[in-house]
Structure 1
Amino acid sequence: ASDLVPLWPDLTGPSKNISEDIKTILTSIRQISATIVEITQETHLSDSDGRMTAAEMKIESLISDVADLRNCLDDQENRARRNNVRILGFPEDVEQGNPTQFLGEALPALLKLPEETDLATERAHRSLAPRPAPGQRPHPFIVKLLHFPMKELLLKSAWELGTLDWEGRRILFFPNLSKALQDRCRLFLPVKKILREKKVKYGLFYPATLRITYKGETSSFGTAED
């Protein structure tokens, strides 16, 4: 089970048009890239130290803008996934073509939820990748739930139960984060291992902030180096 239980931003305000935001960001990146090419060509045609310095400063500014836009795009992607859960370990084809029905029956029993629990699943599917060869790890399920509290309940239940077994297979639950955010979270793995060994209470919260409680005091860290 995962100890990654993210604290998402408040999204109760007006809904955002993520598709339009992404289009705007991509357009801006293309414009910035074209400007960089243009500036580079200009500096090749000029020996002026002043023009070269100005061009270098402009390029540095544009590179910073691109980084900001990429961070914005990644944030939008993770906001779109805020109700998603990624589940690993179920064998291929166990859902018999109906993953929503299978998970609706299997998860409450696996997580020891009340029998009448309705997951309120919007959709569920295997991850989009080539079918694994025999002996390889099966595709994970990606589940989009209608309600954010249900997503949090599934992750919290999996975390509290620890090792989950389904017909001899270990089942793991994770938030369905973007690759960029997953990479940031993985940087904390060595630190988390040390904290577990020393039995220090901690939690990893959205987007990638480690909170440590020690001797009654809680501290937050944005990077593993901190």
Structure 2
Amino acid sequence: MGEGRGRATKQDGRLERELRAEAVPEGRRGREDSRTTHRVRCPSTPTTAATRNHVRGPRRSGTQGRKLATRPRPIRPGKRGGITSLTLETKSMRSDIAGFQSRVTGLKQRMGSLETQINTSQVREQDFIYLRSKLTDMEDRSRRDNIRILGIPENEEGSDMQTFLTSTVPKMISLDFDPPLEFQRAHRIGPKRSDNSSRPRPIIACLLRHNQTRQILQVARNHGPFRIDQHEIRITADYSKETNERRKAFLALRPGFAN
């Protein structure tokens, strides 16, 4: 009797559930069916992790979920053209950079050659300065027996300059020479001037004996200038052009040093 009642009760429960399912709308019925599907347990099978996984399905880890979420989307046809243009621009930029690098390399090579040329030019300039100073020194040494006589009027010497100076210079500086004064060469500098009122050309005379040259220059430094027929006469040493320019620059600064 008890078993018969239990079966009747189960049948009644099934009928009641079927009637309720028919009364529920289709959309809600699907949701409730899905809920009841997970809630229904088999009375003869114990509930374990395996059965839960069988019913619910295997769980996905967070990493797999993220991987699925970040799966790349297919490229649309419109975007392919943009990527192609970017690729072309990148290639163009690379070619430009390669061209710039080649130009920089060429400039470095030219700079290296220019530095070599500059160093060579500096060495040559130093050599030129040294050789020029040596040439100036040699020229001054070759002129050390010369004297310059300034202020003697044109045509005063006549036809023989050496004879004129041999007789005129001792009288002009009031100095007797023993042995007598002798000149190797004597002449005026520059072209002949027809106007006697202009400044006369200087005379360069080369003496035979160096000690006589030193005597004349010493007397001229201490007692000059001299006079001949109301004409002021000066006697100086004969230097090269470079030495004369340096002497003029020094004479311009000499008053400041004297004070």
**Taking structure 2 as the reference length, what is the TM-score of the superposition?**
0.55
Which residue does 2:138 correspond to in 1? Answer: 76
> % of aligned pairs identical?
29
Q: How far does residue 133 in structure 1 lie from its aligned partner after superposition?
A: 4.2
Give the direction of change, closer, same or farther, for the CA distance of 1:109–1:116 in structure 2 (3 Å limit). farther
Which of 209, 223, 226 lines up with 1:147 in the alignment? 209
Instruction: Tell me how far apart the structure 2 counterparts of residues 144 and 68 of structure 1 sit (CA, whole Å).
Output: 28
Counterpart secondary structure, 1:48: helix
Instruction: Tell me how far apart the structure 2 counterparts of residues 182 and 133 of structure 1 sit (CA, whole Å).
Output: 28
Give the direction of change, closer, same or farther, for the CA distance of 1:50–1:95 in structure 2 (3 Å limit). same
Which of 118, 121, 124 lines up with 2:186 in the alignment? 124
Instruction: Tell me how far apart the structure 2 counterparts of residues 159 and 136 of structure 1 sit (CA, whole Å).
Output: 26
Alpha carbon RMSD of aligned pairs, Å? 2.1
Asked whether the 8 Å contact 1:109–1:115 carries over to 2, the reply is no
Which of 65, 87, 101 lines up with 2:127 in the alignment? 65
Q: How does 1:150-189 map to 2 (within 5 A)?
A: 150-189=212-251
Instruction: Tell me how far apart the structure 2 counterparts of residues 148 and 113 of structure 1 sit (CA, whole Å).
Output: 16
1:44-95 deviation per Cα after TM superposition (whole angstroms, max 9, x unaligned): x994322221111111111111111111111111111110001001011111
Can you give the 5+ residue segments of structure 2 that lack an aligned partner in the other structure?
Answer: 1-106
Instruction: Tell me how far apart the structure 2 counterparts of residues 194 and 165 of structure 1 sit (CA, whole Å).
Output: 30
Instruction: Tell me how far apart the structure 2 counterparts of residues 47 and 115 of structure 1 sit (CA, whole Å).
Output: 71
Can you give the 5+ residue segments of structure 1 that lack an aligned partner in the other structure?
Answer: 1-44, 199-226
Give the direction of change, closer, same or farther, for the CA distance of 1:176–1:130 in structure 2 (3 Å limit). same
Q: Which has the higher contact order (CA 8 A, sep 6+)?
A: 1
Which residue does 2:148 correspond to in 1? Answer: 86
Amino acid at match of 1:162: G
Which residue does 1:52 correspond to in 2? Answer: 114
Which residue does 1:30 correspond to in 2? Answer: none
Amino acid at match of 2:162: T
Q: How far does residue 103 in structure 1 lie from its aligned partner after superposition?
A: 0.8
Instruction: Tell me how far apart the structure 1 counterparts of residues 257 and 179 of structure 2 sit (CA, whole Å).
Output: 34
Asked whether the 8 Å contact 1:91–1:138 carries over to 2, the reply is yes
Counterpart secondary structure, 1:59: helix
Counterpart secondary structure, 1:177: coil
Q: How far does residue 155 in structure 1 lie from its aligned partner after superposition?
A: 0.8
Structure 1: which 4+ aligned runs deviate by more than 2 Å?
A: 45-49, 114-117, 190-196
Instruction: Tell me how far apart the structure 2 counterparts of residues 193 and 91 of structure 1 sit (CA, whole Å).
Output: 31
Counterpart secondary structure, 1:191: helix
Give the direction of change, closer, same or farther, for the CA distance of 1:101–1:147 in structure 2 (3 Å limit). same
Is 1:110 equivalent to 2:172 in the alignment?
yes
Counterpart secondary structure, 1:119: coil
Structure with the greater alpha carbon radius of gyration: 2
Counterpart secondary structure, 1:75: helix
**Taking structure 1 as the reference length, what is the TM-score of the superposition?**
0.62
Give the direction of change, closer, same or farther, for the CA distance of 1:67–1:171 in structure 2 (3 Å limit). same
Give the direction of change, closer, same or farther, for the CA distance of 1:47–1:195 in structure 2 (3 Å limit). closer
Q: How far does residue 132 in structure 1 lie from its aligned partner after superposition?
A: 2.4
Q: How does 1:3-82 map to 2 (within 5 A)?
A: 47-82=109-144
